[in-house]
Amino acid sequence: MQETYQECDVLIIGSGIAGASVGYFLLNEQPDTSVVMLEAESTTSFHTTGRSAAFLLPFYGGDKVAPLTKFSKLFYEESPENFTTTPLLQHRGALHIANPDQMHSLERYYKEAISFIPELEMQTKEDVCARVPILNDNYVAGGIYDPDCYDLDVSAIHHGFLRGFQTAGGELYTNAQVVEISPNEGGGWLVASKAGVFKTKKLVNAAGAWGDKVAEMAGVAPIGLMPLRRTIVVCPLGEVDKQWPLVIDIDDGFYFRPEGEGLLASPGDETPSEPCDCQPEEIDIAKTAHDLEAITGKVVAKIDSKWAGLRTFTPDRVPAIGFDTGFDGQHDGFFWCVGQGGFGIQTAPAIGQLSADLLLGRPINTELLKQGVKPDSFAPKRF
């Protein structure tokens, strides 16, 4: 590896929402830390962060993830001065729907979620169809209305984190793919990238779908990350009321919500993939149209736009946040911040704050603990 290098306290690999929020909270907590962020692409939101469906569902991801979302919602509601000039949340509401075969799933979800979201309302078939009249009453058997669901302004959130990071002295390099990582003899890591070589005390792996590849490069055991492709389609579908809630299948299958004059919809696909710039497949676009037609009884005549992105999960679908424990001290300072699956935007402030506290060896933020976040449940050593 080249002999001249730039030194820093913390180096973050990846500038998606994970890397951006960690960088932001690190410098917020300890402004004299020198932090470098390296991004392989020429822009910061090229991969998953730029491809989300942009909503916040309080219980999405289950009971370990829900407290992260609770903390993050508070941050989005009252973001610090200079973070943004636009509201980050817009009220939407969510309607979980079930067909006759799924009524048991509806009851199970209600029992699990009601302690987190006391506002949940069970809905009859008639209630559901009155809320979203485009739904086919031959398909729907019942539902649950969750008033506490929001559209997120992902671009404003992501850029709020990146701007805050850079304003506080953080250095962001794009076109800076990391190609080699080796432990430094005196401790820490040497990281070679297309933008130069860096020596860092601590290394943050926020590389999304590439998380295991980055670990392998550093000689750290992978944790079994699963990048799963998900497809989104935007299309017109008759008269759409922009105030309709997000409509989502109770078993985490298809969903749709108003977008512009039409609907944004997904079949809820989860196709295993290598880390890559994934594109929507014809079969998933056709399935989205088929599902929408079955659920609404309307014909999808035209697709306005489509995309796909990788939602990356750990083996237990709970994020991995914390230092790798290693086995001989060789892995000192290798920090995982991966596995945000389908909830990485709605949990970013909590994951950023928790990561910063762990990286700096500080007591965990009291508001995180108050909202029920249990840092141990994210410890990478469980894999």
Ligand X SMILES: Cc1cc2nc3c(=O)[nH]c(=O)nc-3n(C[C@H](O)[C@H](O)[C@H](O)COP(=O)(O)OP(=O)(O)OC[C@H]3O[C@@H](n4cnc5c(N)ncnc54)[C@H](O)[C@@H]3O)c2cc1C
Least distance in angstroms from the C-beta of 130 to ligand X: 25
In total, the chain counts a number of residues equal to 383
What's phi and psi for 46, nearest 5 deg? -70, -35
> How far is 266 from 139, CA to CA, in rounded Å?
18
For ligand X, the closer of residues 129 and 324 by Cβ is: 324
Q: How many Cβ atoms from other residues are within 10 Å of residue 330's Cβ?
A: 12
Q: CA–CA separation, 224 vs 316, rounded Å?
A: 10
Work out whether 53 is an interface residue with ligand X (CB under 6 A). yes
Q: By the 8 A CB rule, do 378 and 322 touch?
A: yes
Residue of 12, 13, 27, 351 that binds ligand X (CB under 6 A): 13
Q: How far is CA 178 from CA 15, 159, 272, in A?
A: 12, 22, 24
> Looking at 38-46, 86-94, 122-130, 351-359, which segment touches ligand X (CB under 6 A)?
38-46
Strands of the chain, DSSP E: 6-13, 35-38, 55-56, 89-91, 94-98, 121-124, 142-146, 150-152, 171-173, 178-183, 189-193, 196-205, 226-235, 246-249, 255-259, 262-266, 271-272, 305-313, 320-323, 334-338
**Smallest gap, in angstroms, from Cβ of residue 215 to ligand X?**
11
Kindly state the smallest distance separating residue 104's Cβ from ligand X, in Å: 26
Q: Which of 23, 51, 135, 149 binds ligand X (CB under 6 A)?
A: 51
Using the 8-state DSSP alphabet, how is residue 220 labeled? P
Question: In a 10 Å sphere around its CB, with 0-12 CB exposed, 13-18 middle and 19+ buried, how is residue 366 labelled?
Answer: exposed
Distance in angstroms (rounded) separating the CA atoms of residues 195 and 204: 17
Q: CB under 6 A: which stretch of 100-108, 249-257, 287-295, 305-313 binds ligand X?
A: 305-313
Burial 75-108 (b: 16+ CB within 10 A, else e): bbeebeeebbeeebbeebbbbbbbbeebeebbee
Round to whole Å and give the CA distance between 326 and 329.
6
Residue 207 near ligand X by CB under 6 A: yes
Q: Give the whole-angstrom CA distance, residue 35 versus residue 7.
A: 9
User: Does position 73 bind ligand X by CB under 6 A?
Assistant: no
Say how far apart CA 178 and CA 48 lie, in whole Å: 18
What DSSP line would sit under 178-214, residue for residue?
EEEEEE-TTSSEEEEETTEEEEEEEEEE--GGGHHHH
Q: Tell me: does residue 96 bind ligand X (CB under 6 A).
A: no
Task: Candidates 9, 29, 41, 281: give the one binding ligand X (CB under 6 A).
Answer: 41
Among 5, 46, 116, 383, binds ligand X (CB under 6 A): 46
Nearest approach, Cβ of residue 359 and ligand X (Å): 16
CB 272 → ligand X: shortest distance, Å?
14
Find the shortest distance in angstroms from Cβ 43 to ligand X. 8
147-186 binders of ligand X (CB under 6 A): 177-178
Taking the complex as a whole, the smallest distance from the CB of residue 183 to ligand X amounts, in Å, to 17
From 206, 223, 263, 318, residue interacting with ligand X (rule: CB under 6 A) = 206
Smallest gap from Cβ 338 to ligand X, in A, equals 6
Q: How far is the CB of 222 from ligand X (least distance, A)?
A: 14
Count of positions on this chain that bind ligand X (CB under 6 A): 40
Of positions 54, 144, 157, 356, contacts ligand X by CB under 6 A = 54
Least distance to ligand X, CB of residue 270, Å: 10
340 near ligand X (CB under 6 A): yes
22 or 240: CB nearest ligand X: 22
Of the pair 347, 365, the CB lying nearest ligand X is at 347
What residues numbered 219-238 form the site for ligand X, per CB under 6 A? Answer: 230, 232
DSSP type of residue 380: G
CB nearer to ligand X: give 15 or 353.
Answer: 15
283 Cβ neighbours under 8 A, 6+ residues apart? none
Nearer to ligand X, 45 or 99 (CB): 45
Nearest residue (CB) to ligand X, 51 versus 96 = 51
Instruction: Point out which residues bind ligand X (CB under 6 A).
Output: 13-19, 38-41, 46-49, 51-55, 177-178, 206-210, 214, 230, 232, 309-311, 340-346
